[in-house]
Amino acid sequence: MEIKKPTFDPATLVSLLAIVAQEDTTEPPGWWLDSTLRSVEKLVLVRGNDPGAFASIAIEALKSGVIVNPANHALLQLAAINGLRRLDTIGLVSLENLFRSVKTEIDALPSGPRQGRCLSFWGCQRRVFSARIGHYAEASAGATAEAETGPDPKSRAISAYLDRVYAMWAALLDNNEKTMEVAFEDLVTALPGLQAGVAGTDAELQWGKGNGPIHLLQAMFLMDLDLNDPRADWAKQLALVQENAAELGDAFAPWIAVLTAHDLTLNNRDAEALQRAEQIIASGAPADVVAAARLIKGDCYVKLSRQDEARIEYVLITPCPNGHMIAAVAQDALAALGQ
């Protein structure tokens, strides 16, 4: 069954969040504002793939002037960060300043479940932002700590898996073959733990069937592993995300398209893979997705003995948000061709 892209009225969602934040005195695990924000996030950010709108909705709710509870204010600030950190148009200095100011706000909250949730949320956003700018060691360290101290089993399972993901990206950045092999095997081992940890929760779709297998597939793609590599079942993991693509929504679609194109190369359908990659590049996809599509094109050209065209694609891949490890792989491929 096809799931249509959701429509939403930003003004209505702003009013909803403002009203809830004004009156809510509940605490985790039943924090009313937190659960309301998750619903809005799923509608606007996950299903709608509109981080700018999500950030704007949170910011406008903050501007309503009715939110006096400091924990509710801090949670909405974190929601705004969750949208803003995904936008290429937001400067790094501005985001760094926002992270610092919100952390100060959270530290001033009374100790308790609300502060704990805000600290966990801040840590999650900080880790993802660190990875976005290529600081994988910092991101991994934060994930390691959260895996041990997270507020619930679901959060700890996600953080433990992200620790392995960031270690994988760091290994690709360092281009150390032994470290890459260890990191990949750790990632393969970690996926079942993630899926068990999120089973039956509101994160099962996004992480158990989305981010979890996608990150493993990304690692296999960037390591250029054979289709039949015994350590992980490429076909099984790809089928899982493809089967759930409609429900996962537009936010996942660009990377699913990349992985599907790479699957064509693994099955020696290089002409089709080139066509898919060109469509991805022309689609206005995020910079990391475009970099991945160029990597596919370069690899296809190498297989087709069109080295000069491969060099052009590899040269065009430069460090970008969420794509520093892709640029490192491209540089290695370029070196293998001889500049």
What mean pLDDT do residues 4-29 have? 91
pLDDT value at residue 179: 95
DSSP one-letter code for 127: H
Q: Is the pTM of this model over 0.95?
A: no
Can you give the pLDDT at residue 3? 46
pLDDT cut 90: percent of the chain above it? 82
Q: What is the mean pLDDT of the chain?
A: 93
pLDDT(307) > 80: yes
Q: Is the pLDDT of residue 92 over 90?
A: no
Structure-derived torsion over alpha carbons of residues 135, 138, 140, 142, reported in degrees to the nearest 10: -140
Provide mean pLDDT across the span 166-188: 95
Task: For residues 245-266, give the mean pLDDT.
Answer: 96
- Segment 161-186 shows an average pLDDT of 95
pLDDT value of residue 230: 87
Average pLDDT over residues 219-235: 92
- Binned at pLDDT 50, 70 and 90, residue 49 comes out as confident
How buried is 11 (Cβ within 10 angstroms: 0-12 exposed, 13-18 middle, 19+ buried)? Answer: exposed
Q: Please list, in sequence order, all residues whose beta carbon lies within 8 angstroms of the beta carbon of residue 142, skipping any fewer than 6 positions away.
A: 123, 126, 127, 130
Burial (CB count within 10 angstroms: exposed 0-12, middle 13-18, buried 19+), residue 4 = exposed
Q: Tell me the per-residue pLDDT of 104-162, one tens digit each, with 9 for 90 and over.
A: 999 999 999 999 999 989 998 999 999 999 999 889 887 877 777 777 889 899 999 99
Res. 47 pLDDT band, cuts 50 70 90: confident
Q: Residue 204 above 70 pLDDT?
A: yes
Q: What percentage of the chain reaches a pLDDT higher than 70? A: 98
Could you check whether the bond before residue 110 is cis, i.e. omega within 30 degrees of 0? no
pLDDT at 269 over 60: yes
Q: Which SS3 state, helix, strand or coil, does residue 285 take?
A: coil
pLDDT of 95 over the 60 cut: yes
pLDDT for position 141? 84
Residue type, 17: L
Map tokens 């359908």 to a residue. 269
Tell whether the model's pLDDT for residue 11 goes beyond 80. Answer: yes
60-83 pLDDT, tens digit per residue, is 999 999 999 999 999 999 999 999
**For position 89, what pLDDT does the model report?**
82
